Amino acid sequence: MIRLNGWSAIVILAAIGIFLAYGGARALGEVGFWTLVTGSEWYPTIAEPRFGFVPLLIGSAAVTITAIFLSMPVSLAAAVFISEFANKRVKEVAKSIIEFMAAVPSVVYGLIGIAIVVPGVKEAFNLDSGLNAMSGAIVLAFMIAPTIVSISEDALHAVPNDLRQGSLALGNTRWQTTYKVVLPSASSGVLAAVMLGMGRAIGETMAVLMLTGNAARIPGSLFESVRTITGTIAAEMGNVVQGGLHQSVLFTLGLVLFAITFLINLVADLVLEKQRRRWRR
Amino acid sequence: MVTAQSHAGKGSFDLHDVSVTYGSETAIAGVSMHIEPNAVTALIGPSGCGKSTLLRCLNRMNDELGNATVGGRILLDGVDVYDKEYDPVELRTKVGQVFQKPNPFPMTIYDNVAYGPRTQGIRKRSDLDALVERSLTRAALWGEVKKDLKKHAFELSGGQQQRVCIARALATEPEVLLMDEPASSLDPISTQQIEDTIAELKEYVTIVIVTHNMQQAARISDKTAFMLRESMEHPAFLVEVGETRTMFTNPGDKRTEAYITGRFG
């Protein structure tokens, strides 16, 4: 039964891949995969349309990587606090807040971003518009925090207590014990947490669609408007001709996104498995 | 070069009416005894008689459990270690501990042993090298690992891992070394090696060892303290403490005799 479930997961994954490839077949045939992936212009609706993914890939990368850099220090600190320093009561409250953060719909994050972050970024950096990669990344940083916090916390929690005791008994403070023994011991789990956060960030659609300004061109800085892979698919899919080339190109774009998230999650899982095996001695 | 500190004559404990309470339950009460420097003192008694709890009082590791309260007075070389001014972190550099299960850190043998000294601010490579060699030598492991100090500690056998842990505890040059059933998870040969190590170590440190194994206590210790908890309603207490030879040949208390001859426990 378990094996059946395992296989069915693989079958479903393969089916998604095949479905996306099938939908993108026309684009892959007429434009070609390489031209799509390396093309630097995205003008899908002009008379002679240009379908280049590069601005979208850069848009997604800019927002995702910035979000990770913003979220990681705070999330990791939160995980360390919850796992190593908080007492039982505080731990429970903190965990339910994190769960609640994960449960907020992304469109609500988008609205909060529009109301607070966009004007804030505009003010703070003295810009004409706050609808840019930075605003998207800031809101995204909050959205991926629950993933990073809870998985890092699991990894820290899995470090055997023996090691903490051993370090304390050698005349180390709790803090020294945390950064000299516990964090290094949990490093691969923390890495996996960050990667899963990244997978979540790159797949996020609604909030970035609302906040990044959606200009599909290669940005010069984080304070310019960008368009992400997900935002493009969501914004344009409703306006395309059924069975047309544009629709097929969007399917291919979906296939690329699927491949990226699949790879990130796969690597994260392998890293996590390595971490689990470590304490099985 | 760090000179080998000699703690000869240092590292004596005096316990006055020590009790430990977890929440509302008193685990041990009324323990008064003297622990001699540069000798091996064995704490024996049946399971659950508070041996390990008493041991953890000596380096204040009970503090880390959160809900334990220690009563009475514990003096290390005449200084009350439970004084409000006394820093437990400081205490633990003087009173090291080896645990029941080998718990090397996930790093190299060298880094394991150098862990404590590095915390104490020793950074010079030659000083650390000397300390690592001396500690591993004292833990009777140097000959086996001197060529693979960069090896991950997890690759060693259980007995070797435990001796890395002993070396690690010795590297901070403690006055006292607490050992909580250090050989209980090891095979007979490793146990033998650990026991041989202990016999040599008392030249440098005071050793307090908790053991389940009466023969082991008889073999390695100079003094033996017998603890007992007669019922769950009453806390554990110290039945008697004395020269190991006397305790095992001519115990002063009937309960000691009964335990040692294997009539219970």
Alpha helices in A104-228 (DSSP H): 106-112, 118-124, 133-157, 161-169, 174-177, 183-185, 187-203, 206-211
Condensed to tens digits (0 to 9), the pLDDT of residues B215-236 reads 899 999 999 999 999 888 889 9
Name beta bridge partners: B74: B15
Average pLDDT estimate for A125-149: 95
Condensed to tens digits (0 to 9), the pLDDT of residues A61-96 reads 999 999 999 999 999 999 999 999 998 999 999 999
Q: What is the spatial distance between Cα B223 and Cα A192, in angstroms, rounded to a whole number?
A: 52
Ramachandran angles phi, psi of A51, nearest 5°? -115, 85
Q: For residue B152, give the DSSP letter.
A: B
Whether B248 shows a pLDDT value over 80: the answer reads yes
Evaluate the CA torsion angle A147, A151, A157, A163 in order and state its sign.
negative
Q: In the prediction, which pLDDT does B1 show?
A: 42
Whether B9 shows a pLDDT value over 80: the answer reads no
Q: In the prediction, which pLDDT does B252 show?
A: 87
Judged on CB neighbours under 10 Å (0-12, 13-18, 19+), A181 is buried
Determine whether the interchain pair A166/B105 forms a contact, defined as Cβ–Cβ distance below 8 Å: yes
Q: Do B246 and B218 form a contact (C-beta atoms < 8 A)?
A: no
Judged on CB neighbours under 10 Å (0-12, 13-18, 19+), A37 is middle
Q: In the prediction, which pLDDT does B265 show?
A: 61
Condensed to tens digits (0 to 9), the pLDDT of residues B93-117 reads 999 999 999 999 999 999 999 999 9
Condensed to tens digits (0 to 9), the pLDDT of residues B162-186 reads 999 999 999 999 999 999 999 888 8
Q: Is A166 on the interface with B (CB under 8 A)?
A: yes
Give the number of A-B residue pairs with CB atoms closer than 8 Å: 62
Q: In the prediction, which pLDDT does A279 show?
A: 64
Q: Do A227 and A216 form a contact (C-beta atoms < 8 A)?
A: yes
Q: Which residues of chain B are within 8 Å of residue A277 when distances are taken between CB atoms?
A: none
Q: In the prediction, which pLDDT does B8 show?
A: 61
Mean pLDDT for all residues in chain A:
92
Determine the distance in angstroms separating the CA of A163 from the nearest CA of chain B, rounded to an integer: 6
Q: Give B149's contacts (C-beta < 8 A, 6+ positions apart).
A: B108, B109, B110, B132
Determine whether the interchain pair B169/A163 forms a contact, defined as Cβ–Cβ distance below 8 Å: no
Cα angle A221, A227, A228 (rounded to 5 degrees) comes to 105
DSSP string of B159-225, one letter each residue: HHHHHHHHHHHHTT--SEEEEESTTTTS-HHHHHHHHHHHHHHTTTSEEEEE-S-HHHHHHH-SEEE
The tokens describing B211, both together, are 């053991």
A61-233+255-278 domain in CATH 1.10.3720.10? Answer: yes
Q: Is A184 on the interface with B (CB under 8 A)?
A: yes
Determine whether the interchain pair B103/A163 forms a contact, defined as Cβ–Cβ distance below 8 Å: yes
Ramachandran angles phi, psi of B139, nearest 5°? -85, 5
**Widest distance between CA atoms in chain A:** 74
Determine whether the interchain pair A184/B106 forms a contact, defined as Cβ–Cβ distance below 8 Å: yes
Q: Which domains does chain B possess?
A: 13-106+176-260 (3.40.50.300)
Q: Give B63's contacts (C-beta < 8 A, 6+ positions apart).
A: B88
> Residue A249 carries which side chain, given as an amino acid letter?
V
Going by pLDDT thresholds of 50, 70 and 90, the confidence category of residue B5 is low
- The chain B residue lying nearest A183, using CA atoms, is B106
Of B61, B119, B120, the CB nearest to A165: B61
Q: In the prediction, which pLDDT does A111 show?
A: 96
* Residue B178 C-beta-side C-alpha neighbours within 13 Å: 28
Of A162, A167, A181, the CB nearest to B101: A162
Q: In what order do the strands lie in the sheet with B223-228?
A: B95-98, B176-180, B206-210, B40-44, B223-228, B237-243
Average pLDDT estimate for A259-267: 93
Ramachandran angles phi, psi of A247, nearest 5°? -60, -45
Q: Do B20 and B48 form a contact (C-beta atoms < 8 A)?
A: no
The DSSP bridge pattern shows strands B68-76 and B13-22 to be antiparallel
| Chain B stretch 182-221, residues whose beta carbon is closer than 8 A to a beta carbon of chain A | none
Average pLDDT estimate for B13-38: 93
Q: Is A65 on the interface with B (CB under 8 A)?
A: no
Q: What percent of chain B has pLDDT over 90?
A: 71
For residues A151, A155, A161 and A167, what is the CA-based torsion angle, rounded to 10 degrees? -120
Q: In the prediction, which pLDDT does B48 show?
A: 84
Q: Which of A159, A163, A170, A187 best tests the B interface by mutation, with the highest count of B CBs <10 A? A: A170
Other CB atoms closer than 10 Å to residue A269's CB: what's the count? 13
Q: Which residues of chain A are within 8 Å of residue B99 when distances are taken between CB atoms?
A: 162, 165-166, 169
